[in-house]
Structure 1
Amino acid sequence: MNSLDKNDIRRQAIARRQQLGDAGRRSEVICSRLIAEFPIQEDSYWLVYVSVRDEVKTTRILEEVLANGHQVVVPYCLTNQELGLFLLTDPQQLERGAFGILEPIATLRAEQTVAPEMLDTIVVPGVAFDRHGNRIGYGKGYFDRLLTNLRSDCLKIGLAFDCQIFPEIPADAHDRPVDHLITESQSIRCSAKT
């Protein structure tokens, strides 16, 4: 498949997601399932994306991790199309940044930076997924680059609405699948195609 196929899937998935009338309720179900199935271990570092637009809302996960005194890391966009990683200790440390996404306040970033190899679990956004864990993002490659820099034992969990699951997502050699996928109706242990 060529890149046009990925673009077609991306457009279709975004349109499906925009048509959901109860995305907030569905997000709550997804977040509850994640928290129940993957209890946060003490001293573990979780990266949780900060939701934007019609994505699965991650506010509940961020609040849960912070309320229990665990380590939560949030990503932010750097100028070289890579993600910076910030140790969040208070939701007030976020402000609107690139693409309208809540990001860490710029003056706090240097002192609360986390290296990718410190992450134990990463909650990954996506526009579309398949049951093998392959994903399509918005096309800028921010998360793809991060996924290549993680420890091999870092658990990668994708969050999506059922309407974002496709029979097959074309995967390039540099693409890294997620290990687990959670939707409002199912929890999928992904097995990458060989």
Structure 2
Amino acid sequence: MTDGIDNAKRAMRADLRERRQQRSAAALDAAEEGVKAQLDRLVDDLGVRSMSCFLSTTTEPGTREFIRDAVQRGIRVLLPITRADGLLDWAVAEADADVTEGIFGMPEPVADVLSPLAVNDVDLLVIPAAAVDRTGMRLGWGRGYFDKTIGSMEQCPPVYAVIFDSELVDEVPRDLHDQPVDGVVTPTRTVSLTH
């Protein structure tokens, strides 16, 4: 990665992180409710029976209510577990499973661990992002886990990033290894993107 791109990504992430930390609890609750409605509609529209999602942090658009409800509806939801080698293991979500702190402080399920290959049979990938541009390029949080996962899949299903409305932007800094997404889910809408 060139220094210019690296610096631009770092600056954009810092700005987005600060904006997220300034959101009120009421705004975050409303965002989670909106994201749940959008994800419910997307899952129904795509006929999803198996998918991946992520356990949201306290400053992200919430996914936890959606995950709980999806599990109760009989959808198999895989949750990521970070590994030191840069790959993701997976665990099947359970409605009342315990949550622990992963390698980088991200919430992860306490459950039986499945290999990185477990995600190969899902109908939909729902992943975190700092921002996404209108061509589908995603700015992650800098560890590369989801870029590696998407880039390694032989037959990648649709990939949607969960962001706040203001984080769908005109352009994000990009490098060769960065992987695009097919769309974004925000608290107010689901947008399909072409790349």
Shared fold (TM-score, shorter chain, > 0.5): yes
Q: Secondary structure at the match of 2:67?
A: helix
Cα displacement (A) at 1:114: 5.4
Is the Cα–Cα contact under 8 Å of residues 83 and 103 in structure 2 kept in the other structure?
A: no
- Give every structure 1 segment of 4 or more consecutive aligned residues whose post-TM-superposition deviation is greater than 4 Å: none
Whether 2:89 is the aligned partner of 1:84: answer yes
**Deviation (angstroms), 1:151:** 4.1
Q: Does 1:20 align with 2:26?
A: no
Matched-pair contact (CA < 8 Å) for 2:51–2:123: yes
Q: Could you say what the CA RMSD is over the residues aligned between the two structures, in angstroms?
A: 2.2
- Give the one of 26, 29, 48 matched to 2:34: 29
1:47 to 37, 44, 52: 52
Other-structure match for 1:163? 166
Q: Which runs of 5+ in 1 are unaligned?
A: none
Q: Deviation of residue 186 (structure 1)?
A: 2.9
Match status 1:172 vs 2:175 = yes
Letter in 2 for 1:27: E
Shift of 1:191: 1.0
Q: Distance in 1 between matches of 2:169 and 2:18?
A: 13
Helix, strand or coil for the counterpart of 2:169? coil
Number of equivalent positions: 189
Structure 2 residue ranges without an equivalent (≥5): none
Does structure 2 retain, via aligned residues, the 8 Å contact 1:179–1:189?
Answer: yes
Distance 1:113 1:37, change over 3 A: closer
Paired letter, 1:103: E
Note if 1:126 corresponds to 2:129: yes
Contact kept? 2:161, 2:183, Cα under 8 Å: yes
CA offsets, 1:114-172, max 9 Å, x none?
52311221111011111222111111111111111234350101111012222101222
Q: After TM superposition, give the deviation of residue 53 of structure 1 in Å.
A: 3.4
| Contact 2:50-2:77 at 8 Å conserved across structures | yes
Shift of 1:90: 4.1
Q: Distance in 1 between matches of 2:166 and 2:31?
A: 11
C-alpha deviation, 1:183, in angstroms: 1.4
CA-to-aligned-CA distance 1:74-103 (integer Å, 9 cap, x gap):
000112121111122343254333233332
Q: 1:154 aligns with which of 154, 157, 180?
A: 157
Would the aligned equivalents of 2:54 and 2:63 in 1 still touch at CA under 8 Å?
yes
Instruction: Specify whether residues 98 and 158 from structure 1 end up closer, same or farther in structure 2 by C-alpha distance, changes over 3 A only.
Output: same
Which one of 50, 55, 61 corresponds to residue 56 of structure 1? Answer: 61
Determine helix, strand or coil for the equivalent of 2:7: helix
Amino acid at match of 1:136: L
